[in-house]
Chain A
Amino acid sequence: MNGISQISLAELRLLAPMLVVTVTGIAVLMLEVFQRSAMSRRYQAWLSVIGLGMAGLDTLYLLARGTEAFAMSQLLYMDGFGFTLDLVVLLGGALAALIAPAYLESHRLERGEYYGLVLFSVVGMMVMNHGADLFTIFMGLELMSIPIYCLAGYFRHSSASAESSMKYFFLGAFASALFLYGIAFVYGMTGTTSLVGVSRVMFSGLGSVDVAGAEAYAASSGFVEYVGLGAEGGPLFALEFLPAMAVLLILAAMAFKVAVVPFHAWTPDVYSGAPSSVVGFMATGVKTAAFGALVRVFMVGFFDQPARLSETGWLSVFFWLALISMVLGNVVAIVQSSVKRMLAYSSIAHAGYIMVGVVGASYSPEGFLQLESVLFYLLTYTLGTVGAFGVLAWFGKRGEEATTYEDLAGVAKKYPGAALAMTIFMLSSAGIPPTAGFMGKFYVFKAAVQTGETAMIALAVVGVLASVSGVYYYLKVIMAMYMKTPRREVHGVAGLELKTALVVCAMGTLLLGILPGIGLGISRAGVLSFLGAPPQVRVELNKLRAPVEAGRAELGAPE
């Protein structure tokens, strides 16, 4: 945040997707002011989808053009990695907007703030995806989270919804405080919150400070002396401890948002209390943005060998988090009787799988490209999970939601389309070919195996075993829908919007399962254009980028 520079129009152009979404959000809120309460609000859903779609198209354009630039005084990286995550988030937001109208109408909740909150939250996620500075990431995180606290409690007449909102809020605010405290330590030690700046004054291992590097940076950036090691009066209190604390506090906040064990406890309660229409978005958008920010912070800011790889490096922390998340998420999901809670626990397991990809990719600079598996998984996860919650939103009326396995019993007879869609989503979540989920799991586990480390391979093996045990509860849903007789009448409320969303999710899930190359191609483009990557990673990326760019030149060249 040093130095004041002007914002150029070119920078503003790169922010166009975010601006479009913001303006759409404001427009929806303004329309709500002039809205007669009796009138249908379906158009607001479509307006949001159009806004998100336009932003998506522009993002796709920027991605295809290979945009790589800093924006807003180097607070944002406008690179392929961010744009790819944007695409996932925008997709999640658009699907959430499509799922909502019929659900909100049938539960008498129709008010326009819903779409405004979704849109603002999407903007927050996009800021996180592009964050180049711990503080930008933090602001994005809050911009994302606060609307979601409101959305969780959107079901005003429901005590459970209020409770879910309250729990999410308190724990989220608590995590925010931890995150801020971590940022404060980083700032104090390095004098900067910019990720690249932090990486220059790198920690060598969680326990100590790379004095030489820090001093060199301090000198080059105009500081007389490196700040950390007490300029006067000897070493600061517990300074040995500070860098480690900083990393851990930031790690805890990130882990809280992606919901890995033991920072996961809010997930089941919040997901089961919040309205079904929004849970899918909460589960996928937040996870996507949080994983994006996590990758960015740890890969750019804390990538240095000792901080990452030493016995006390963050990699081993992530390793164990991934492991226990996969195991605990799946095991506890098995004993759930509510489908919503089951999906919440399974989302913890999914966070574990994604973490496996992150761990595999950050093991060595050569493996960095494996981050594509993380992006791909997030895409498949978004399609499958938003779809699954969309199907849950299909059933229920006036505050009565279909949440348990019994509520879904025999649904297939009356609503074969919904049951088929749910089957596809469940198979995808379970990782059964030919669905997208299978390819997603395949790639993240491959990311771990390609390191060649025994521990990593063991991690992948645990992941495979855990996902096998997951098949049990996913199939239970399918079994309930097709083989059980309904205990009571099921009411389905679905509009064109919800059906559109489900068709998109189902087709996407199958398409990515059969032709994973499409999603993987975009993911790879995103990873290859990763700004702020440490030098040793950049060398590897350039090796891979060279043929791509040569190919691009060849395509563009006249015959």
Chain B
Amino acid sequence: MDYRSARAMAGALLVGLALAGAVIAAVAGSGELPIAGKAFISGAFGSATAWGATVATAVPVLLTGIGASIAFRAGIFNLGQPGMFVAGAVAAGAVAPAVPGPGWLNVVITLAASVAIGAAWAAVIAAGSQITAIDVLVLSLIMNYLADGLATLLTTRVFQDPAVLGIIETRMVPARLPLLAQQSSFHSGVFLALAACVVYWWVMNRSRAGHRLQLYGRNPKFAAASGTARRGYEMRVTVATGSLCGLAGGVQVLGVFLRYIDGSIGGAASYAWTGVILAILVPLGTLLLIPGAMFLASLQTGLLGVERAVGVSSRLSLVVQAVVMIAVAYGRGRAQRSSEPNAQPDAGSSAEQKTVLAGGVAP
């Protein structure tokens, strides 16, 4: 990462924080700002419970973020991560209560099911896009709504907990990911996420698969001429994304909710969207993913603290995320334009757009 994108990121954070401050001042009065600041810090990092909540939030963000990052690095603009995330969560909620056996085995089987269903959902997206020739960006976005709808339908009709009335949810899972601190949601899924980060870093920077992914993303035609078959490879990359997002869904069910509760995973505030934002914010293939995920998670938990203290909705985190993202994309685009003064003028406008978009997510 060069100093330019570092500067762009720092500037983006300042802009985001200033905006958040302005909104809080406008809603609650400027006198409340110091209180809001304190509430933010204590909400995100003030106690063991706060730390636990922040880390537990960072876990699905990291896993879906890695998934998104793989797709983006291959130049595949798949935004179906929320759908894959939901698919994994539903699978966990459905499978875990149905599987007997000791706790650890139940957890392993459940997570395997989450991975499989997330991957299957991704395969449907990739195959659908290839067969119908609909752009993967469009199709994957639509499929997110389909995933939410199917999840509700399946939970109501098939997996509903008969003991519960009025709430659409599956039965309680028999075994959970062990808690690492009592009285918090700090669960052992964090080890899975960290392991995924390390493996991701190694694969991206040291292995043949990462090398192929990188070159494919830089020029798929050149990769095809060198022997990487386009359709098959895009399918493989998308399935890898789906596996990680499905795993995130399973971890979320086994670590936080302990059952699949309708509406808790999907929707506009899905952690998978935060993961997508992480993949766009952080230069691909670096371990900056971890602090990045912690930052985005602390925005959510910290602003929950602000909501409790001064009554400004924690949805403000979405606004801040969006502003930071736009600022970073702007900074990167500018850096790229200035580093390529003699870009070919006759390159088609669509190709140029794609370059800028890729520049937004590439280091």
A and B co-occur in one complex? no
Binding site for B on A (CB under 8 A): none
Binding site for A on B (CB under 8 A): none
